[in-house]
């Protein structure tokens, strides 16, 4: 059985959804990747659109509550917003918690083009973090 990773945000509508799609894409079958929110809402259409631009389809994702994962063991729980970091529940086992703070692209109230640009910028920042994370994991596996 693969190790599991949970990506946690407040609404599970943009940052954590994009991170789930990116990490699942990059990790292949090395990990099972999930995302959830402390106050789930719905997946933002802008997140679906900008992920589609790079060939990753998250249109089938749904916003999930962190409660759905209560009692499940995760190798890593990654919070991608400060609010979720502060209210992250405790998970059983040897869970390693990581915090990656990203701005909320949904908070941009400008034109549609500017909102999409914000979603692209955050998507690319998340992708960079995930590639670094994947490199660290690969180094750990070779060293261990």
Residue among 40, 45, 22 at smallest CA distance from 105: 45
CATH of the domain at 77: 3.40.50.2300
* Count of domains forming the chain: 1
Which residue has 């959830």 as its token pair?
A: 36
Q: What is the pLDDT of residues 83-128, one digit of tens each?
A: 766 776 666 678 888 999 999 998 888 898 999 999 999 999 999 9
Using a 10 angstrom Cβ sphere, with 0-12 exposed, 13-18 middle and 19 or more buried, the burial of residue 137 is middle
Using a 10 angstrom Cβ sphere, with 0-12 exposed, 13-18 middle and 19 or more buried, the burial of residue 39 is middle
Q: Mention every residue, 6+ apart, whose C-beta is less than 8 A from residue 16.
A: 7, 8, 9, 35, 36, 37, 80, 81, 84
Q: Mention every residue, 6+ apart, whose C-beta is less than 8 A from residue 61.
A: 17, 20, 21, 35, 43, 48
> For the whole model, what pTM was predicted?
0.91
Question: pLDDT band for position 72 (50/70/90)?
Answer: confident
Question: pLDDT band for position 136 (50/70/90)?
Answer: confident
Question: pLDDT band for position 140 (50/70/90)?
Answer: low
Q: What sign does the CA torsion over 48, 129, 143, 94 have?
A: negative
Q: What are phi and psi of 78, to 5 degrees?
A: -115, 120
- Asked if residue 7 lies in contact with residue 28, where contact means CB atoms within 8 angstroms, the answer is no
Q: Which domain holds residue 53?
A: 3-143
The catalytic residue positions are 9, 81, 88
């Amino acid at each position: 059985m693969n190790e599991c990773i949970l990506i946690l945000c407040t609404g599970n509508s943009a940052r954590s959804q994009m991170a789930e799609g990116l990490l699942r894409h990059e990790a292949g079958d090395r990990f099972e990747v999930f995302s959830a929110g402390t106050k789930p809402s719905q997946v933002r259409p802008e997140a679906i659109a900008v992920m589609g631009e790079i060939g990753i389809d998250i249109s089938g994702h749904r916003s999930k509550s962190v409660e759905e994962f209560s009692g499940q063991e995760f190798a890593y729980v990654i919070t991608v917003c400060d609010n979720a970091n502060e209210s992250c529940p405790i998970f059983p086992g040897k869970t390693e918690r990581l915090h990656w703070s990203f701005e909320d692209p949904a908070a941009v109230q400008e034109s549609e083009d500017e909102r999409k640009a914000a979603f692209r910028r955050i998507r690319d920042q998340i992708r960079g973090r995930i590639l670094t994370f994947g490199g660290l994991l690969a180094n750990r596996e070779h060293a261990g």
